[in-house]
Amino acid sequence: MTYLQKEHLEVYANQASKDGKPFCGDSYYVHATDEYLICVLADGLGSGEYAYNSSSAVTKVVEEHHHESVDVLMQLSNEVLHHKRGAAVAIFKVFFDKQEFEYSCVGNIRFYLYTDGGKLTYPLPVTGYLSGRPQKYRTQRFVYELDCKFILHSDGLNIMNVKSLFKNRSIKPIAYELEEQTTQSNDDATFIIGSLL
């Protein structure tokens, strides 16, 4: 499990490959500066080495250009998948000073933002996947309240009731609960869960 803590945030991330195979078709990258947090989750089509090659190409290009806007990062992710199998990709960036999210997703990756008051934000992704072909993106921006929680996860993880998962709980026990679920999944499974303080 990956753990990241800074003044403004606490994040846990974990993944497991399908049937314990050597290559996980999901890849993720989490990085925080004093100004922002950037997270990307890429789910390569299928499973195994070719899926891994696609998803890891995305996380590598985001890591190299994390200072760019979400729009630019989605375009770079699409370009790097040219002649590869393709991937579902979700990228979000949190700006601490503005208390604002930028979020874009193509494919079946889920993102939820939960406030202490019980409000759940679930921006809908664009259907399809990135593969180097011309692609429409929809970057959404929304403000967040302090002490909110978020989760980003691939379709290998099936979360039935996000509100009850988050309600009156800190993210550490939730992360360990989800870690157990990822190891029991019959698909590549990845999650990034965090709280913004």
Q: Among residues 62, 3, 29, which one has the least CA distance to residue 195?
A: 3
| Whether residue 130 has pLDDT greater than 90 | yes
∠182-8-92 over CA atoms, to 5°? 55
Q: What is the pLDDT of residues 74-94, one digit of tens each?
A: 999 999 999 999 999 999 999
Q: What is the pLDDT of residues 16-40, one digit of tens each?
A: 999 889 999 999 999 999 999 999 9
State the CB neighbour count (10 A cutoff) for residue 42. 33
Q: What is the pLDDT of residues 41-54, one digit of tens each?
A: 999 999 999 999 99
State the CB neighbour count (10 A cutoff) for residue 186. 8
This prediction has a pTM of: 0.96
Crossing angle for the helix pair 70-80 and 49-64, to the nearest 10 degrees = 140
188: region left, alpha or beta (phi > 0 left; psi from -120 to 50 alpha): beta
CB 54 within 8 A of CB 46: no
Q: What is the pLDDT of residues 69-78, one digit of tens each?
A: 999 999 999 9
